[in-house]
Amino acid sequence: MGELRTRKRGKTWEWSFEGARIGGKRNPISKGGYRTKAEALTAGTQAKAEYDNTGRSFKPSEISVSDYLDYWLEEYVKRNLAHNTYLDYATKIRLHIKPEFGKYRLSAIEPDTVQRWIDRKKDCGLSKGMLKNLLSCLSGAMNYAVLPLKYISSNPCIYVKIGKIAENQYLKEHREYILPQEDFSRIIDRFGPDSSYYLPLMLGYYLGTRIGESYGFDLLEDVDFKTHTISINHQMQCEGGTWYQRPPKYDSFRILKMGQAIEKAIKREITSRKKNQLKYGKYYTKTYITPENAIVQVPAHVEVPYKEIMPASAHENGEIMTPNSFRYCARVCHNELGLPLFHSHCLRHTHGTILAENGARPKAVMERLGHKDISVTMNTYVFNTDKMQQDAVDIFERAASGLAYHSQKW
């Protein structure tokens, strides 16, 4: 390619260079209007570098890990993966990956440096799940750098091992906690039908919804009493201090059959909400969704050009509750009801496990919980409880008794 040149044209400066010939004809590239020669030279140097790199503003061999991760997030993750995944990766990159690798060239990262990073994170007490997620995030970025980009020749993460981690027994018990039926009854007695926590508790226990899905449930559109189904179309998620209606995790949209208990709870909440609107009149707070899917609340007498929604949980005056509000319910369960292992996700664990214990097919459990992989259902949510173990013994005993009977006949 031609060399970069600068020249003065009138009162301003211009840069130019010769591009690749097109159809055998010269292809001069130039731009003017710069106040000084130095400004023209700086701009021209950058333009020629981008031209020589087919539009890139960097050489792949020189790009830093920090700049590459920014590029990967915007050009691949944001375009191709769920919004929640983008936010999760952005947080992991900001808090854990950039502080370790950001200042280095992408091409300089080797397996031993990644292994030392994982080992140090392990020493800091991070769980095996968190370590796997961090490594998966970095590995995904590196894979994209290998193909299709070809910025590096191989992914340094594929050789890294996490190894064994002694799991904290309390954390394990907390994660795998299954809520006994009698304790759920105590919770429902404490947070009865008049409580704003009642419906989120019922949704989690009877439908296995995630906490964000429970609070994102729209009483106006997501229930069909004719077919006795509810649709999981949203989750409520906080971004930068604003609550949004976002797709459910892993885009796990699904339609669930509902039984009488949850249908009665939903109908009661809708009736209560309508009564409260009449009671408060123009002082009632209505909820709307903007074109950007932000959730906004406005007094009833104010007209807004947005679609009205009715989230599952709200105060008497219409002010909505959010997943963060559930922390109070959890504290009451811990301190007042003596259930220290209770957490919102245990409702989901309990729902899946009750289904499995009582003979539901694994695929049905997977679809009800909205998992993308049956192994997630079996390994994470459907635990090997005492009842399951006893059922296995009983099944074998019945089968073995039959064999013994036939052997005696023989």
CATH number of the domain at 90, please. 1.10.150.130
Longest Cα separation, the chain: 113
Q: Given phi > 0 = left and psi -120 to 50 = alpha, else beta, which region is 184?
A: alpha
Q: Residue 194 domain-assigned?
A: yes
At 403 the pLDDT is: 54
Distance separating alpha carbons of residues 56 and 68, to the nearest angstrom: 12
- Residue 338 CA to residue 70 CA, distance in Å, equals 46
Which residue, 298, 326, 348, sits at the end of a domain? 348
Q: Mean pLDDT across the stretch 37-53?
A: 87
* Sole residue written with tokens 């008497």: 316
On whether both 196 and 147 belong to a single domain, the answer is no
Mean pLDDT rounded to a whole number for the chain: 90
Q: Which residues pair with 314 in a beta bridge?
A: 320
- Please say if the pLDDT value at position 50 is more than 90: no
- How many domains does the structure of the chain reveal? 3
Whether residue 356 is contained in a domain is answered as no
Q: Could you report the per-residue pLDDT of 69-81, keeping only the tens digit for each?
A: 999 999 999 999 8
pLDDT-based confidence at residue 202 (cuts at 50, 70, 90): very high
**Does 154 share its domain with 182?**
no
pLDDT band at 20 (very low <50, low <70, confident <90, very high): confident
Q: State how far the Cα of 140 lies from the Cα of 298, in Å rounded to an integer.
A: 42
For residues 157 and 179, membership in a common domain is answered with no
Stretch among 157-171, 261-275, 294-308, 377-391 having the lowest mean pLDDT: 377-391
Contact 347, 205 (CB under 8 A): yes
pLDDT value at 373 more than 90: no
Distant-in-sequence, close-in-space partners of 26: CB < 8 Å, separation ≥ 6:
18
User: Does 22 lie in the same domain as 78?
Assistant: no
Q: Is 324's pLDDT higher than 80? A: yes
**Last-in-domain residue among 348, 378, 393:** 348
Q: What is the pLDDT of residue 385?
A: 67
Range of the domain at 38: 5-52
CA atoms within 13 A of residue 290's CA, in its CB half-sphere: 9
Residues 349, 176 contacting (CB under 8 angstroms)? yes
Does one domain contain both 242 and 110? no
pLDDT digits (tens, 9 = 90+) for 210-231: 999 999 999 999 999 999 999 9
Q: Are residues 288 and 323 located together in one domain of the fold?
A: yes
Tell whether 323 is covered by a domain: yes
Please say if the pLDDT value at position 279 is more than 90: yes
More confident residue, 277 or 251: 277
Helix 65-72 to helix 128-146 angle (10° resolution) is 90
| Same-domain pairing of 37 and 113 | no
The pLDDT, as a whole number, for residue 57 is 58
Classify residue 394: in a domain, yes or no. Answer: no
Q: Are residues 155 and 256 in the same domain?
A: no
**pTM for this model (two decimals):** 0.72
Same-domain pairing of 161 and 182: no
For residues 234 and 325, state if they share a domain: yes
